[in-house]
């Protein structure tokens, strides 16, 4: 298998899953892996690169989300046909990775992390019981010294209480989820809308009233359909753009 001729470098500060993802993606884009080809099994990839199952699953899950791969139960994971690739917005890469690729310095400010009783809307979105609690996580993110996005997450406390022991100025919530079998994200559904800046956006993102904003609403689920995260993000419309790949069917 051609992808096994490439190496993962464990001595550089690039996430292992991201390196594996790029190895597979490059082979697909240059035609080495063709439509209908089966990629190696998780065990084969784990054994060859000496990496964890969660690392492999994270790389494959992102390629499935981006339309490069297709999982078939009991049959394996296949390269998809180009005209069947789903639309996607490149919001899957860790924020720090994206900003560094732009030649800027990323920084995250934790504005709130607390346990709370959800309102009816959040309870319904997360499919929680009457007495269930949620963890509220609110962050502001910067490129160099400029704020570019605020992100509010709501997490079911009974599944995600472990996040309270982490410092999200430095830790990626997504990577933390993907490192644990019970919270490993299998799918994220995203709704994008164009809106005008709220008073909170004006204050935290340093934009003028009425400025354009790109708003993302995400619901992330595990492989068994458990909702692990509801999040909404407000991006400055004057500083952000998102690439959408879509091929006509």
The DSSP line for 232-249 is EEEEETTT----EE----
Q: Select from 182, 121, 112 the least CA-distant residue to 153.
A: 112
Which residues, in sequence order, are bridge partners of residue 244? 89
In this structure, the number of other CB atoms found within 10 A of the CB of residue 62 comes to 24
Query: In this predicted model, which residue has the larger pLDDT, 107 or 161?
Result: 161
Q: Give percent of the chain with pLDDT exceeding 90.
A: 45
Is 204 in contact with 150 (CB distance < 8 Å)?
yes
Task: Tell me what the pLDDT averaged over the chain comes to.
Answer: 84
Is 156 in contact with 188 (CB distance < 8 Å)?
no
Distance of CA 34 to the CA centre of its chain: 26
What is residue 86's predicted lDDT score, i.e. its pLDDT? 40
Q: Give percent of the chain with pLDDT exceeding 70.
A: 85
What is residue 132's predicted lDDT score, i.e. its pLDDT? 96
- For residue 192, what are its two tokens? 């994008």
Give tens-digit pLDDT for 185-233.
888 888 888 899 999 999 999 999 989 998 999 999 998 899 999 999 9
State whether residue 43 is helix, strand or coil.
helix
Evaluate if residue 88 carries a pLDDT over 50.
Answer: no
Map out the domains of the chain with their CATH numbers.
Answer: 14-77 (1.10.10.10), 93-234 (3.40.1410.10)
What's the pLDDT band for 84 if we cut at 50, 70, 90? very low
What's the pLDDT band for 83 if we cut at 50, 70, 90? very low
State whether residue 62 is helix, strand or coil.
helix
């Amino acid at each position: 298998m051609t992808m096994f001729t490439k190496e993962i470098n464990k001595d550089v500060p690039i996430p292992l899953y991201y390196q594996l993802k790029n190895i597979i993606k490059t082979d697909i884009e240059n035609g080495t892996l063709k439509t209908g080809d089966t990629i190696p099994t998780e065990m084969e990839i784990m054994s060859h690169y000496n990496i964890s199952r969660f690392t492999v699953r994270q790389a494959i899950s992102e390629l499935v989300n981006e339309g490069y791969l297709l999982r078939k139960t009991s049959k394996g994971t296949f390269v998809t046909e180009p005209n069947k690739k789903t639309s996607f917005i490149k919001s899957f890469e860790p924020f720090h990775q994206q900003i560094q690729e732009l030649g800027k310095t990323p920084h995250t400010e934790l504005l709130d992390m607390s346990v709370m009783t959800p309102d009816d809307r959040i309870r319904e979105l997360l499919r929680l019981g009457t007495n269930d609690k949620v963890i509220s996580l609110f962050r502001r993110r910067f490129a160099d010294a400029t704020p570019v996005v605020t992100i509010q997450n709501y997490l079911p406390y009974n599944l995600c209480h472990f996040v309270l022991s982490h410092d999200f100025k430095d830790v990626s919530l997504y990577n933390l989820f993907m490192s644990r079998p019970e919270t490993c994200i299998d799918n994220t559904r995203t709704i994008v809308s164009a809106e005008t800046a709220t008073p909170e956006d004006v204050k935290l993102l340093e934009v003028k009233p009425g400025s354009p904003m790109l708003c993302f609403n995400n619901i992330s689920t595990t492989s068994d359909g458990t909702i692990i995260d509801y999040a909404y993000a407000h991006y400055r419309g004057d500083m952000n753009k998102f690439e959408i790949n879509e091929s006509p069917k």
